[in-house]
Structure 1
Amino acid sequence: MEGDKASVVLLNCFVSPFGNRVKIALARKCVAYEEKPENLAAKSPLLLSSNPVHGKVPVLLVGGKPVCESLVILEYIDDAFAGEPLLPADPYARAQARFWASYIDTKLPECARRVWQSPKGAAAVEEGRKDMVAVLKTLEVELGGKPYFGGAALGHVDVALVTFVPWFATYERLGGFSVAAECPALVAWAARCAAENPCVAASLPDGEAVFQFVCGMRKHFGLD
């Protein structure tokens, strides 16, 4: 496959749930890569030239060729590198996995931003909290009694969602709620993902580090 012998570089920010998805997928496939950290307040020329449309992380450079957008990158990694796939082989199951990954990206980041990018006490915080809880509850229903979203093993939807888990403490502290109280089965799933999958545990930042990063961003933008 084309990626097997090419140099692999990941442009990422350590708190990015989108970039950290890519880290999980690369680790799962045992792909050696170089991670280049990005300062999102002063984006590098390499990032801007590699992703001129959005100027965002993550970008995966394979043999110098850029692949952008995290869900696209996950599918590229599945196609380009040998190893256990994240997407199932069955066409219907693949369609369902893509649907739920798209649901996560359509719903969760938008309500999360209202929680952590709004001034304290703003109506947007409460609205974001309510919407976030609704999204997480919907995902908990979809998980049901399964160990993972796709069944018995870590898959595409799990990787799409689990990288938001280090942000939960930030959402809770700024939004005034408890994910564990609202969605206990989802919290148990998150613990399972990390405990049973070294590629997950090694790829996620510390929750307190995420919170301190967000506090710095909020201070920079005059939100606190």
Structure 2
Amino acid sequence: MATNQEEVKLLGALGSPFVCRVNLALNLKGIEFEFVKEDLQNKSELLLKYNPVYKKVPVFVHNEKPISESLVILEYIDDTWTQNPILPTDPYERALARFWSKFIDDKIVSPSFKSAFTVDEKEREKNIAESSEALEFLENELKDKFFGGEEIGFVDIAAVFIAFWIPLIQDISGLQLFTAEKFPKLYKWSQEFLNHPIVKKSLPPREHLFALFKGRYESLFNASK
């Protein structure tokens, strides 16, 4: 088990749901770390050094060893600091947690962003349909208070995008993708999740993010007129 907490850094941008995942996992485990804020329009030498392949955040640095990709980082954190585990111990349950987390990235995160920030009407409808179908699968998969049972786990952390970012996107775009009427279990989960004290502490300021995304949304649609 690693003990030198002074050598833990997280390179990230506040508006990224992927960075938020790592931030949340570190806070759930009580790990002290240094947050290094990155400007993705003007990437630092540190970011390019630690992630020369993708040149994006998050990058997690432990004792000068960098790791990229949020789900990979979550697994590393869970393997290194064993307190408050976020992955199940049972191999089958662990495999399922990995599956659903990857599913969220592939079938919800990307299509949801595209559904709001795409000018083409047909493309937007296609992405809305894909996101809605995927949310239905998750609605049926949720059996307990959280995906991790009574405590927040790996899939819950991966799904922070659904709880926090999708409602934000809806408020900006007027889309009704994720509602209590359509997905009652998932919506209830999102409220429990967002009201968890450690989740509250780990989320970026909503007002700042709203202004940022609204500016992008208006620029995109004003340019298309």
1:204 maps to amino acid: L
TM-score (norm 1): 0.90
1:30 to 2:39 alignment: no
Question: Would the aligned equivalents of 1:166 and 1:206 in 2 still touch at CA under 8 Å?
Answer: no
Structure 2 match to 1:55: 55
Q: Which runs of 5+ in 1 are unaligned?
A: none
Rounded to whole Å, the distance in 2 between the matches of 1:201 and 1:190 is: 12
Question: Would the aligned equivalents of 1:3 and 1:62 in 2 still touch at CA under 8 Å?
Answer: no
Residues 34 and 17 of structure 1: CA distance in aligned 2, closer, same or farther (over 3 Å): same
Residues 114 and 5 of structure 1: CA distance in aligned 2, closer, same or farther (over 3 Å): closer
Measured after TM superposition, the shift of residue 124 of structure 1 is 1.9
Residues 178 and 109 of structure 1: CA distance in aligned 2, closer, same or farther (over 3 Å): closer
Measured after TM superposition, the shift of residue 21 of structure 1 is 0.5
Measured after TM superposition, the shift of residue 208 of structure 1 is 4.0
Residues 207 and 168 of structure 1: CA distance in aligned 2, closer, same or farther (over 3 Å): farther
Residues 21 and 190 of structure 1: CA distance in aligned 2, closer, same or farther (over 3 Å): same
Rounded to whole Å, the distance in 1 between the matches of 2:60 and 2:48 is: 13
1:118 maps to amino acid: T
Structure 2 match to 1:157: 155
TM-score (norm 2): 0.89
3-state DSSP of counterpart to 2:159: helix
Measured after TM superposition, the shift of residue 206 of structure 1 is 3.9
Which segment drifts farther, 163-172 or 51-60?
163-172
Measured after TM superposition, the shift of residue 6 of structure 1 is 4.8
Structure 1 match to 2:146: 148
Rounded to whole Å, the distance in 1 between the matches of 2:24 and 2:55 is: 22
1:186 maps to amino acid: L
Residues 3 and 70 of structure 1: CA distance in aligned 2, closer, same or farther (over 3 Å): farther
2:163 maps to amino acid: V
C-alpha distance after superposition, 1:30-56 (max 9, x if no partner): 111111111222221211221111111
Question: Would the aligned equivalents of 1:78 and 1:87 in 2 still touch at CA under 8 Å?
Answer: yes
RMSD of aligned residue pairs (Cα, Å)? 1.9
Question: Would the aligned equivalents of 2:163 and 2:190 in 1 still touch at CA under 8 Å?
Answer: yes
Question: How many residue pairs were aligned?
Answer: 220
Rounded to whole Å, the distance in 2 between the matches of 1:213 and 1:128 is: 22
1:79 to 2:79 alignment: yes
Question: Would the aligned equivalents of 1:115 and 1:129 in 2 still touch at CA under 8 Å?
Answer: yes
Rounded to whole Å, the distance in 2 between the matches of 1:207 and 1:69 is: 24
Question: Would the aligned equivalents of 1:116 and 1:170 in 2 still touch at CA under 8 Å?
Answer: no
Identity of aligned pairs, percent? 37
1:130 to 2:132 alignment: no
Rounded to whole Å, the distance in 2 between the matches of 1:103 and 1:170 is: 21
3-state DSSP of counterpart to 1:11: strand
Q: Which runs of 5+ in 2 are unaligned?
A: none
Residues 209 and 5 of structure 1: CA distance in aligned 2, closer, same or farther (over 3 Å): closer
Residues 163 and 202 of structure 1: CA distance in aligned 2, closer, same or farther (over 3 Å): farther
Question: Would the aligned equivalents of 1:166 and 1:205 in 2 still touch at CA under 8 Å?
Answer: no
2:110 maps to amino acid: E
1:90 maps to amino acid: D
3-state DSSP of counterpart to 1:149: coil
2:211 maps to amino acid: Q
Residues 177 and 80 of structure 1: CA distance in aligned 2, closer, same or farther (over 3 Å): same
